[in-house]
Structure formats: C-alpha cells, structure tokens
C-alpha cells in the first residue's frame, strides 16, 4: 500500500489577485471599532476589492494590526508610517485608503 502526498499548494505571487474567499477573509478581518476607519475601509473595498493582489493584502493586514486611533492618524495623513510599518506595501495601500475617502460610499 503506497501513500501519495497531497499536492502542494502553490504559493501565490505578490501580484496574483486574491480569490473571492481570501478577499472576503481580508474584508472581514478589516472591520474596525471606529466608524471613521470603517467608512474608509468600506469605500476601499468597494473601489479596489475586486482587484486586490497579495502584495496589497499584506499591506492591508499590516495596517489592520494597528490600534484604531493609530490607523486613523495614518489615513488622515496626521502622520506617516515609521519603522517596520514603513514598507512599500503599506504605503501603497495607505495611499489607496486615503483616496477612497470616508465621507460617502463611492459610486461604481
């Protein structure tokens, strides 16, 4: 009796798009307790959700690891990313969040 190994999952490239399941997980994990952040995040997913890649998902995850007030300071450009948070991925997603706006839901 021979055992066969399960096929190895392919590691996605940074520019590969997220599939629906991964995008939904990222969106779920991005929920915040501060309404202002949620408005920016909801608009971000409405505008960019379908085209998010793994590189951007990494940047978004890093931002979501912040406390709500620290995230809002970055989104409102009260301060810029510093130290280990100052990466290309974080800066790219932060720019996308800032352009998404938090006042009203964007029109598709």
- Domain assignment present for residue 78? The answer is yes
- Tally of domains in the chain: 1
The continuous run of DSSP H or E covering 47 comes out as helix 35-48
- Domain assignment present for residue 32? The answer is yes
- Domain assignment present for residue 108? The answer is no
Least confident of 19-23, 45-49, 100-104: 100-104
- Domain assignment present for residue 90? The answer is yes
> For residue 102, is pLDDT > 70?
yes
Please report which confidence band the pLDDT of residue 25 belongs to, taking 50, 70 and 90 as the band edges.
very high
**Residue for token digits 């995040």?**
41
Give yes or no for a contact between 101 and 40, defined as CB atoms under 8 angstroms apart.
Answer: yes
Give yes or no for a contact between 98 and 75, defined as CB atoms under 8 angstroms apart.
Answer: yes
Token digits of residue 80: 């810029």
- Domain assignment present for residue 64? The answer is yes
Higher pLDDT among residues 11 and 8, named by residue: 11
Domain limits for position 69: 20-100
CA distances from 82 to 18, 74, 94 (A): 27, 10, 13
> For residue 104, is pLDDT > 60?
no
**What whole-number distance in Å separates Cα of residue 55 and Cα of residue 84?**
16
Express each pLDDT in 41-75 by its tens digit.
999 999 999 999 999 999 999 999 999 999 999 99
What are residue 27's phi and psi, to 5 degrees? -60, -45
Q: What does the pLDDT read at residue 14?
A: 87
- Domain assignment present for residue 54? The answer is yes
Average pLDDT, the chain: 90
**What whole-number distance in Å separates Cα of residue 13 and Cα of residue 11?**
7
């Amino acid at each position: 009796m021979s055992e066969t190994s399960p096929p190895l999952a392919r590691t996605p490239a940074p520019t590969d798009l997220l599939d629906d399941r991964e995008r939904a997980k990222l969106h779920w994990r991005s929920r915040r307790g501060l309404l202002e952040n949620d408005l920016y995040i909801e608009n971000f997913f409405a505008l960019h959700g379908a085209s998010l890649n793994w590189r951007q998902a990494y940047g978004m995850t890093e931002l979501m690891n912040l406390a709500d007030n620290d995230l809002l300071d970055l989104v409102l450009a009260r301060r810029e990313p510093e130290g280990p948070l100052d990466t290309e991925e974080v800066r790219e997603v932060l720019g996308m969040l800032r352009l998404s706006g938090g006042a009203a839901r964007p029109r598709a």
